[in-house]
């Protein structure tokens, strides 16, 4: 069974969730995805991490993988509940392709 | 000269530059543009204001003008020089249309 590539229907291998870590962590993670053969990588972020997602895409394109294109950017909202309070948080999805 | 509104040849009326003010200021500014007859409004932001630009678009769409669509989102970089040091800053342009 070795060599079998299992893909769950929900997990997407090529999705990078952008959080609070330094931006270079996400640039590296994206590089690893592309170098591992993914033709497309999706950066997802919410709230204040949105800026970091854009930074990740730009640093990658300008410094590391100049052939990577921004295929699309989508914005949206999610309702999140923190300590009983529901509030809307903005989200972004940046689709990068080689 | 009071009351004179000077417009440079470069200013685009339907562009809202998102800065450090509270997000509702920009939501209101965008609303005013649309209510003044603009079919399209462009939100531009750099650096940390990128998140606020996305928030502006989302609050507008979800609460105030439900018929407004996100026509496109573009990301990019600009080199800015502060105190002799040049660094790249990410930018975003969100095109909203009615």
Task: Quote ipTM for the complex.
Answer: 0.83
Q: Which two tokens stand for residue A86?
A: 């529901």
Q: What is the pLDDT of residue A1?
A: 46
B62, B73, B75 member nearest A58 (Cβ): B75
What is the mean pLDDT of the segment spanning B11-28? 91
Check if B12 contacts A (Cβ < 8 Å): no
What is the mean pLDDT of the segment spanning B10-38? 91
Q: What is the pLDDT of residue B86?
A: 87
Averaged pLDDT, groups of 10, chain A, 98 residues long: 48 86 97 94 96 96 94 94 89 96
Mutation site for B-interface testing, chosen from A54, A70, A72 by largest number of B Cβ within 10 Å: A54
Q: A23: domain CATH number?
A: 3.30.110.20
Q: What is the pLDDT of residue A11?
A: 53
- Among residues 52-91 of chain B, which lie with CB inside 8 Å of chain A? 54-55, 57-59, 62, 70, 73-77, 88, 90-91
Residue A94 CB burial class (10 angstroms; 0-12, 13-18, ≥19): buried
Whether the per-residue pLDDT at B91 is higher than 80: the answer is yes
Q: What is the pLDDT of residue A78?
A: 94
pTM of the complete model: 0.85
Q: Among all residues of chain B, which has the CA nearest to that of A50?
A: B51
Alpha-carbon span A93 to B94, nearest angstrom: 13
In chain B, % of residues over pLDDT 70: 88
Q: What is the pLDDT of residue B12?
A: 67
Q: What is the pLDDT of residue B8?
A: 46
Alpha-carbon span B41 to B96, nearest angstrom: 5
Q: What is the pLDDT of residue A91?
A: 97
Per-residue pLDDT of B34-82, as tens digits, reads 999 999 999 999 999 999 999 999 999 999 999 999 999 999 999 988 8
Q: Among all residues of chain A, which has the CA nearest to that of B93?
A: A73
Domain limits for position A56: 5-97
Residues 6+ apart with CB under 8 A from B51: A47, A48, A50, A51, A90
Chain A residues touching B51 at Cβ < 8 A: 47-48, 50-51, 90
Residue of higher predicted confidence among B70 and B5: B70
What is the number of structural domains in chain A?
A: 1
Q: What is the pLDDT of residue A13?
A: 76
């Amino acid at each position: 069974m070795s060599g079998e590539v299992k893909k769950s229907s929900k997990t997407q291998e090529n999705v990078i969730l952008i959080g609070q870590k330094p931006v270079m962590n996400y640039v590296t993670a994206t590089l690893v995805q592309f170098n591992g053969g993914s033709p497309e990588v999706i950066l997802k972020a919410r709230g204040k991490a949105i800026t970091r997602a854009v930074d990740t895409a730009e640093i990658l394109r300008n410094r590391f993988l100049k052939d990577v294109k921004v295929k699309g950017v989508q914005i949206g909202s999610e309702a999140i509940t923190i300590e009983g309070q529901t509030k809307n948080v903005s989200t972004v999805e940046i689709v990068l392709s080689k």
